[in-house]
Amino acid sequence: MTLKRSACIVGAYEHPTRKAPDKTVAQLHAECARGALTDAGLTLQDVDGYFCAGDAPGLGPLSMADYLGLNVRHVDSSDTGGSAYLVHVSHAAQAIAAGKCNVALITLAGRPRTDASSIGTGPRNVTAATPDVAWEAPYAPITVNMYALAAARHMHEYGTTSEQLAWIKVAAAAHAQHNPNAMLRELVTVEDVLNSPMISDPLHKLDCCVVSDGGGALVVARPEIARSLKRPVVNLLGAGETLKGQSSGQVDLTYSGAAVSGRIAFVEAGVTAADIQYASIYDSFTITVLMQLEDLGFCAKGEGGRFVADGNLISGVGKLPFNTDGGGLCNNHPANRGGITKVIEAVRQLRGEAHPKVQVPNCKLALAQGMGGLLGSRHGSATLILERV
Amino acid sequence: MSTTYQDRPLTAPIVDASTDAWWTGAREGVLRIRRCTSCAKVHWYPRPVCPFCMGDTTWEDASGRGEIYSVSVTRRAGPIPYAIAYVRLDEGVTVLTNIVDCDLDELRIGQRVQVCFKIADGGASIPMFAPAGS
């Protein structure tokens, strides 16, 4: 079975809020679900598959499907952190191809900004029974330093510089200035990034993503259904997923799971990185982007620093427009999980509905890449390749 | 620039069936690792079932020596800066740890380090590393 053109993304919605003290997490899920179904031209009654991950309150899909009023015959709560929603798109396509559902709804929402919870300098949400915790918690691993360790090693191996990493933030900000919902809309310079406080060497404050409330939803449907709707048809061409850990003590921080998930997705799609016109790249930190670009084959391993410099990721300026909504670095990182917004902006680009200042002309082939968990220890990676018919 | 190491409060570690003997070793000043009785490979973090071949594993004492694979000084996650690191032990496994008892700004990838121990709440010894010869 191949997933190539087996399913379509027919609905996509990003909640406009970035701070929601007046809404519950469940409500945000519902508002996102409504938005995506409205976007698709479908109703609650059309949905027969539901997907959510660890941000969903209660017992995941059990609680949320009941809350949303869904009657489903297929359910999936695979959780790979922020990459889960790209995994869900792939799993939804698999379920559709297997006849297990026709219309799949994927939701994400959270309020980390309001709740001041689990930001990059706080401890991770783990329990004593998590098998790695006893061996690692005494040393205070937190989100930012578990990415910083990968950045430090990349600099050591390949000569990557803080200036090069800063260009990734500069590009994201260049896009975010056009997004009225973005948390950070001010242009930033390389110097601004380098002069921002050092959080964990070599990552500065402006190397980090925003902490925002909000959410998003996607609707994935059978191609026959997609063609009956009024929206442009966005096909899934290829999908890959993997997990990368510490390899039982053979730690290698020079590559990410994108090296595996990307290869799987490109083979399935039958295209190469050179064919991609727009890329959504998970951007929890600047180093996250740089390593995934290398691992996906947009440049050679170790060349990421030179690739991202001088505005090469800025739409209309460089060769590879990325995260034209401003990404997690400037726009939105709802529930501390940026995967769904990566898919949403890729869908906007393919439909020609990105902001005119950042829209890639005649965008027909896009990639969305997600990474969840911790780059420096254990993470999930998922890659989607999408085309507009 | 220099950032002198300062002790920070360490909470009591998690002691359970898989960690108890390791903490006992640490109290005796020994860093222990786990080796498979079937395939003879060492792994990290320690597990009773070998992650390479699913054989049974057993404790052995490590040399306590290694080199820094990567290091980051975390400066804004509390009042006391600390150096988190991966150290590749001479036995061939890479462990997450802290580097202590030095100027944290002088730490470099590739630097030789030696195990040492810091006391947590409740008296447990937490293995950490310091530059060799310091």
Q: Work out the average pLDDT over B41-65.
A: 98
Per-residue pLDDT, A110: 95
Quick one: pLDDT at residue A336?
A: 92
Q: What is the mean pLDDT of residues A19-29?
A: 97
Distance from CA of A279 to the nearest CA of B (A): 29
Mean pLDDT over residues A68-85, rounded?
97
A-B Cβ pairs (cutoff 8 Å, strict): 125
Whole-number percent of chain A with pLDDT over 90: 95
What angle is formed at CA A148 by the lines to CA A142 and CA A152, rounded to 5 degrees?
Answer: 150
Task: Give chain B as a DSSP string.
Answer: ---B------PPPP-STTTHHHHHHHHTT--EEEEETTT--EESS--SB-TTT--BEEEEE---EEEEEEEEEE-SSSSS-EEEEEEEETTS-EEEEEE-SSBGGG--TT-EEEEEEEEPGGG-EEEEEEETT-
Q: What pTM was estimated for this model as a whole?
A: 0.97
- Cα distance from B133 to chain A (closest Cα, Å)? 22
The nearest CA of chain B is from the CA of A278 a distance in Å of 33
pLDDT of residue A359: 98
| Confidence band, pLDDT 50/70/90 cuts, at residue B77 | confident
Nearest CA in chain A to B12: A138
Q: Is the pLDDT of residue A222 over 70?
A: yes
Whether the predicted pLDDT of A313 surpasses 80: yes
Model confidence band, residue A296 (pLDDT cutoffs 50, 70, 90) = very high
What is the separation, in whole angstroms, between the first and last Cα of chain B? 20
Interface mutation vs chain A, best among B84, B104, B109, B119, most A CBs within 10 Å? B84
Does ipTM top 0.90?
Answer: yes
For A118-158, the pLDDT digits (tens) are 555 555 557 888 999 999 999 999 999 999 999 999 999 99
- Give the residue-averaged pLDDT of A242-254: 98
Residue B1 binned pLDDT confidence (cut-offs 50, 70, 90): confident
Q: What percent of chain A has pLDDT over 70?
A: 98
Q: Are A302 and A157 in contact (CB under 8 A)?
A: yes
Q: What is the pLDDT of residue B133?
A: 83
Q: Does the pLDDT value for residue B36 go beyond 90? A: yes
